[in-house]
């Protein structure tokens, strides 16, 4: 535009101008028209007696230049997620405020599709069920982590937002437990001798059972009264199938090995140090004959390793009950639960036998013991008596494999890092890194001294964010969100610590536990609810509720908790005392330790 009074020419940029050099965020683009004279400004000067002179300035010949602007460095929040098939977290992506003048282009994962996933140290492979994991989705905002066979184990999704900081997030979803030293899946039998044998052994190291004696947690497999038939992926009895009335027995033993000159062809030709305990069991229906389904019976046992003859497995066994309500059947993808209406579960308390019928090829069945156990018996019950009347009939032989368990031994954290890039409107980019730790699903998820995103599973979890501004996601289940004594020490009245809960369930049994954080709210004889209004103030914008906390009850708010998508004020109609009374009565608030 031209100011006719002053002759000043103004150049206003309305949209981002593309700069071709994505490496240099300061490169310059100069306005040059395709043909000379396409963009001229003509100035005419007239003096007092009417003499005039005219001159042209070619504005399309390098008069205007636009210097590029690039995005700023950004630091996504680290995530700590429960190591379970339902573990999930929501974390800040930190794109907001860092896109630069060109605006947001997008965020993508950086790497090569098919790359194997390693822990942060770069050398320790991340595995699930003993299988290596590989990544796809580089160059996009969705990264998939899966086994070589395509089973989905984890998904990370980037959802950048340059306009709304609270929506500038990434999510982590765990679909299948990652190996952390607390469990294992035996699904590769290639190291065991093929064909029919009296017994076979599987070393958790994946090699020959005689290769090393290192206290490994191994698997001893027998077929009571018959022979075990082995292929690379599944087992049968005397042939590739487990037929009606036939059974396999799996004993969880340490340092399984051949006994002297004996081998797998010899009856009881094994020895071992002792049994180890597991808390649950899973099995994959690798094959089902024909196009039908199978009926499988399970019994679990503990074993007396003090007996002089540890090879007599039946004599040293004591049965353990199975929790029928814990049975889960998943589809062939290893993730999707099968509708319980498609299979039947019966628990016979008289014999401690669990019956699961209607199992199809590719499906995996899992269950928990009422206590820890050390052996599992797997029976094809077709033709056997049904505790609810009649017999199991019409069911097919099967080949079993993918034997998995969880150990009560505490697992370890599995730390990982994922490279990403923030791109602006004309392609300039800066690198960033997402730090992710999957932590044992033992019911407590603990944050660090910094800003963290904590994610629980569909179980009862306790989430402790610790210092910093944290984002907490409990998942399904009755979750406790707990603040410790000094968690608000880093906050001030001008800049309080702000923690966010993404899924607080007021109608359920989620709990805000402030018993360690609040000082002086207890009068020595019981909680004085009237006193809590000195500590807690509730505000809402109609969508979220903010809990303003003065830990000492002195009006100095140094901690805030945002409850997303929850309006405790009921549209501003409830007082602080009303809200406190309701939360305490429904066990959604604990202030008394």
Residue 66 is predicted with a pLDDT of 66
Residue 216 domain-assigned (yes or no): yes
Residue 530 has pLDDT above 50, yes or no: yes
What average pLDDT does the structure give for the chain?
A: 90
* 406, 437, 455 - which closes a domain: 406
Q: Is the pLDDT of residue 124 over 90?
A: yes
Between these two residues, 66 and 224, which has the higher pLDDT value? 224
Closest CA to 78 of 391, 438, 338: 438
Residue 44 domain flag: yes
> Does residue 287 belong to any structural domain of this protein?
yes
Question: Cβ contacts of residue 465 below 8 Å, gap of 6+?
Answer: 447, 452, 454, 472, 481, 483, 487, 499
Distance, CA of 428 to CA of 121 (rounded, Å):
29
| 100-113: pLDDT as tens digits | 888 899 999 999 99
129: confidence class by pLDDT, cuts 50, 70, 90: confident
- Check residue 17 and give its pLDDT: 64
Percent of the chain with pLDDT over 70: 91
- CA distances to 94, 236, 251, 345 from 246, rounded to whole Å, are 59, 9, 17, 20
Q: Are 351 and 202 part of one and the same domain?
A: yes
Q: Identify the domain boundary among 406, 429, 463.
A: 406
Q: How does pLDDT run across 28-60, given as a tens digit for each residue?
A: 666 676 665 667 777 788 888 888 888 887 776
52 and 195 housed in the same domain: no
Alpha carbons within 13 A on the beta-carbon side of 515: 14
In the structure, what pLDDT confidence band is assigned to residue 19 with cuts at 50, 70 and 90? Answer: low
Asked if residue 526 has pLDDT above 50, the reply is no
Tens digit of pLDDT for each residue in 410-434? 689 999 999 999 998 878 899 999 9
Q: How many domains does the chain have?
A: 2
Whether 206 has a pLDDT exceeding 80, the answer reads no
Q: Is residue 446 part of a domain?
A: no
pLDDT at 13 over 80: no
Residue 76 within any structural domain of the chain: no
In a domain, 56, yes or no: yes
For 354-404, how does the pLDDT look when each residue is reduced to its tens digit (9 = 90+)? 999 999 999 999 999 999 999 999 999 999 999 999 999 999 999 999 999
Give percent above pLDDT 90 in the chain: 69
pLDDT grade for 2, boundaries at 50, 70 and 90: confident
User: Cα-flanking dihedrals φ and ψ of residue 533, to 5°?
Assistant: -70, -15
Give yes or no: residues 59 and 194 share one domain: no
How many Cα atoms are found within 13 Å in the side-chain-facing hemisphere of 50? 0
Same domain, 194 and 52: no
Residue range(s) defining the domain that contains residue 11: 1-70
Taking residues 143-171, report their average pLDDT. 95
Residues 191, 60 share a domain: no
How far apart CA 190 and CA 321 sit, in angstroms, is: 33
Give yes or no: residues 218 and 346 share one domain: yes
- pLDDT at residue number 527: 47
Task: Identify whether 246 is part of a domain.
Answer: yes
- Which pLDDT tens digit goes with each residue over 270-311? 999 999 999 899 999 999 999 899 999 999 999 999 999 999
334 within some domain: yes
* Distance in angstroms (rounded) separating the CA atoms of residues 151 and 149: 6
| Shared-domain flag, residues 64 and 194 | no
- Which pLDDT score, from 0 to 100, does residue 130 have? 75
> Hunting for tokens 């076979």 — which residue is that?
200
**Final residue of a structural domain among 370, 390, 406:** 406
Please return the burial class of 179, using the count of CB atoms within 10 Å of its CB with bins 0-12, 13-18 and 19+: buried
Selection from 591, 474, 427 nearest residue 89 by Cα: 474
């Amino acid at each position: 535009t031209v100011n006719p009074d002053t002759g000043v020419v103004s150049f206003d940029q309305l949209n981002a101008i593309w700069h071709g050099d994505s490496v240099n965020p300061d490169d310059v683009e100069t306005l040059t028209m395709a043909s000379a004279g396409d963009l001229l400004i003509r100035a005419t000067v007239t003096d007092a007696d009417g003499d005039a002179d005219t001159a042209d300035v070619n504005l399309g010949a390098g008069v205007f230049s636009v210097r590029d602007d690039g995005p700023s460095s950004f630091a996504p929040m680290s995530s700590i997620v429960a190591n379970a098939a339902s573990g999930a977290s929501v974390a800040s992506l930190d794109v907001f405020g860092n896109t630069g003048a060109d605006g947001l282009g997008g965020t993508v994962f950086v790497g090569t599709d098919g790359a194997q996933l390693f822990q942060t140290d770069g050398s320790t492979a991340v595995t699930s069920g003993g299988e290596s994991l590989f990544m796809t989705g580089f160059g996009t905002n969705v990264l998939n982590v899966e086994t070589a066979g395509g089973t989905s184990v984890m998904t990370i999704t980037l959802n950048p937002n340059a306009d709304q900081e609270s929506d500038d997030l990434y999510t982590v979803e765990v679909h299948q437990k990652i190996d952390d030293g607390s469990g294992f899946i035996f699904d590769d039998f290639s190291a065991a001798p093929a064909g029919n044998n009296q017994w076979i052994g599987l070393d958790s190291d994946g090699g020959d059972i005689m290769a090393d004696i290192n206290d490994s947690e191994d698997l001893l497999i027998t077929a009571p009264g018959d022979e075990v038939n082995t292929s690379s992926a599944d087992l049968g009895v005397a042939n590739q199938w487990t037929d009606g009335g036939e059974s396999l027995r799996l004993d969880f033993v340490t340092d399984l090995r051949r006994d002297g000159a004996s081998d797998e062809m010899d009856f009881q030709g094994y020895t071992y140090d002792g049994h180890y305990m597991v808390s649950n069991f899973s099995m994959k229906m690798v094959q089902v004959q024909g196009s039908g389904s199978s009926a499988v019976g399970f019994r679990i046992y503990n074993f007396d390793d003090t007996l002089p003859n540890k090879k007599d497995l039946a004599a040293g066994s004591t049965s353990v009950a199975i929790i029928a309500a814990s049975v889960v059947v998943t589809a062939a993808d290893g993730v999707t639960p099968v509708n319980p209406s498609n299979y039947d579960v019966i628990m016979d308390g008289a014999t401690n036998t669990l019956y699961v019928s209607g199992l199809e090829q590719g499906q995996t069945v899992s269950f928990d013991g009422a206590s820890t156990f050390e052996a599992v018996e797997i029976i094809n019950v077709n033709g056997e008596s049904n505790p609810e009347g009649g017999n199991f009939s019409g069911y097919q032989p099967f080949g079993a494999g993918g034997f998995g368990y969880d150990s009560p031994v505490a697992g370890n954290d599995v730390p990982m890092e994922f490279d990403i890039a923030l791109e602006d409107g004309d392609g300039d980019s800066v690198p960033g890194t997402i730090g992710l730790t999957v932590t044992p699903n033992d019911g407590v998820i603990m944050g660090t001294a910094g800003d963290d995103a904590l994610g629980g599973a569909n179980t009862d979890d306790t989430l402790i964010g610790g210092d910093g501004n944290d984002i907490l996601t409990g998942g399904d289940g009755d979750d406790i969100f707990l603040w410790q004594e000094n968690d608000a020490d880093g906050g001030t009245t001008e800049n309080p610590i702000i923690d966010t809960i993404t899924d607080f369930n007021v109608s359920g049994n989620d709990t805000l536990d402030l018993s360690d954080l609040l000082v002086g709210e207890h009068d020595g004889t019981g909680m004085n609810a009237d006193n809590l209004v000195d500590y807690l103030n509730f505000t809402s914008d109609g969508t979220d509720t903010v809990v303003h906390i003065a830990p000492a009850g002195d009006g100095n708010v140094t901690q805030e908790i945002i409850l997303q998508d929850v309006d405790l004020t009921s549209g501003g109609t409830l007082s602080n005392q009303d809200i406190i009374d309701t939360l305490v009565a429904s066990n959604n608030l604990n202030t008394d330790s």
